[in-house]
Amino acid sequence: MDINYQSQANAAEQSVLGALFLIGDPKAPAVSKIFYSLKIGSFGEAMHRDIYRSINNVAQTGSRIDLITVEAELRNLLGIGSNQIDFHLSYLVDLVNNTPSPRNVMAYVTIVKNAAVERETLSLLESGLVLMSDPSEGTPTERLGLVISSLERARNSAVGVSAGGLSRMSDIGKEWLKGVEARFNGEAAIGLKTGLANLDKILAPKDILPGSLVAIGARPKMGKTAFTLKIAEYVAIEEGKGIATFSLEMPKEQIYERMVSSRARIDSGLFYQSPEDVYNFDTEFAKASQAISEYNNTKCYIDDSPSVTITYIEAESRRLHREVPLAAIMVDYLTLMTTEKAERNDLAYGDITKRLKQLAKELNCVVFLVTQLNRKLEERADKRPLPSDSRDTGQIEQDCDIWIGLYRDSVYHADSPNPPELMEAIVRYNRHGGTGTAYLELINGYVGDFLCNVVFDNPSARKTMSAKYARK
């Protein structure tokens, strides 16, 4: 059914305000629903906004909503000498007299809310036309991204993706207790695991909480892509959850091949040789077929669009999340992204990390962000990475919830006492739990737990580990 919300908006706004007076009790469920559903800006008429703001203020004090209390608040809001006061007060009386019953108030709330969405969208489209006509705001693609982003935020606000505003401790506590009870009963997961037992021991007991931004930093040849794809494999296959991967470094076919090879525990060279040249080809290819079958049943998505912007990642993630709830988003990697206008690189990348953190909160998922570290770390005696090694991305230390550095001693030292397959995943920073070093192995693109199955929280224990597992 087609409804012209704008033509009905004024009458609906009057009915909502009149219903609030008729209900009177600020603690009544209907009043709470109205305040939750409508913001002051939802009202198109300026006078209605003043009255609704006054009613809100009265309700916050716990006083009854009536002509006397709202009149006093209006005088305080507009000023005793305002020439609008008398008109407002006579209007209040008309509101009460012309509203027969609060019974259908939520239907009026819906009309007011939809009319507000229409007004905001039309305003944004008008601003978008002006923006698209202004070359000083960037390239056409950048300007289009800004328009899409603003419209997407308006849509999310309209459908209640993110309910902002102040919340009472008692209301927050109720929701928190529901979550605690669900976890105690095994009805809800605590957080996201990586599938790497040694690393998950460090992140336990909370694991990686939804809404977290996880930074993964390393120099080249440390196994960044293999590490992140292992996590993606676990989330998609073992957990059966939705995950979106934005790969700016590798084509999606190569990503797919690496994920299949890693899952099957086979050498990807199998796919580039004739069957008669491969020992035990049928067995190896059967493993690959099994991995392919497993991935075909997952909610795993890959985007290899080059030079993407943060606006593009936001829009695509929101679009997919509406169809398939996402548990995780992978971005590989930060400094390959196209930055939006800024005075310096660090400010541009800082904007990206801040918005990725906001995206994680908005979608209630985990965002993994891979970052290439500054080569200056190789000038140190101990080349194990630190958060401060992030190149042009100092803001990432403030925005991320967990920072993990990847390190392989054998890449820098041919005579390293550590096995060449040994990888260290060093949790330098964890807002929700402990830190330490998880020992992993990297073999033919596959990342797994190192055979020692031990996690050292004390960095000095590395020497003990190196001596114990040194090759003879």
Cβ neighbours of residue 163 closer than 8 Å, sequence gap 6 or more: 36
Phi-psi group of 364: left, alpha or beta (phi > 0 → left; psi -120 to 50 → alpha; rest → beta): left
Domain map (residue ranges) of the chain: 5-158, 190-468
Q: Identify which of 295, 207, 199 has the alpha carbon closest to the alpha carbon of residue 243.
A: 295
Q: Tell me the CATH number of domain 190-468, given options 3.40.50.620, 3.40.50.720, 3.55.10.10, 3.40.50.300.
A: 3.40.50.300
Strand partners, 403: 215, 429
Instruction: Tell me how far apart the 2 most distant CA atoms of the chain are, in Å.
Output: 96
**With bands split at pLDDT 50, 70 and 90, how would you rate the model's confidence at 63?**
very high
Classify residue 35 by burial, with Cβ atoms within 10 Å: 0-12, 13-18, 19+: middle
**With bands split at pLDDT 50, 70 and 90, how would you rate the model's confidence at 397?**
confident
Q: Residue 406: helix, strand or coil by DSSP?
A: strand
Is 54 in contact with 77 (CB distance < 8 Å)?
yes
Residue type, 88: H
Q: What is the mean pLDDT of residues 59-69?
A: 91
What pLDDT was estimated at residue 240?
95
188 token code pair: 């809800």
CB count, 10 Å around CB of 151? 16
Is 286 in contact with 257 (CB distance < 8 Å)?
no
Query: Per-residue pLDDT for 459 more than 70?
Result: no
CATH superfamily entry for domain 5-158:
DNAb Helicase; Chain A (1.10.860.10)
Strand partners, 448: 441
Q: What is the mean pLDDT of residues 102-106?
A: 89
Q: Where is average pLDDT lowest: 169-173, 329-333, 432-436, 452-456?
A: 452-456
Work out the percent of the chain whose per-residue pLDDT is above 90. 43
**With bands split at pLDDT 50, 70 and 90, how would you rate the model's confidence at 149?**
confident
Q: For residue range 231-263, list pLDDT tens digits in order.
A: 999 999 999 999 999 998 899 999 999 999 999
Q: For residue range 402-417, list pLDDT tens digits in order.
A: 999 999 999 999 888 8
Q: For residue range 182-224, list pLDDT tens digits in order.
A: 888 877 778 999 999 999 999 989 999 999 999 999 999 999 9
What pLDDT was estimated at residue 278?
86
User: CA-CA distance, 22 to 109, in Å (whole number)?
Assistant: 15
What pLDDT was estimated at residue 227?
96
Classify residue 416 by burial, with Cβ atoms within 10 Å: 0-12, 13-18, 19+: middle
User: CA-CA distance, 384 to 176, in Å (whole number)?
Assistant: 38
User: CA-CA distance, 29 to 233, in Å (whole number)?
Assistant: 45
User: CA-CA distance, 220 to 222, in Å (whole number)?
Assistant: 6
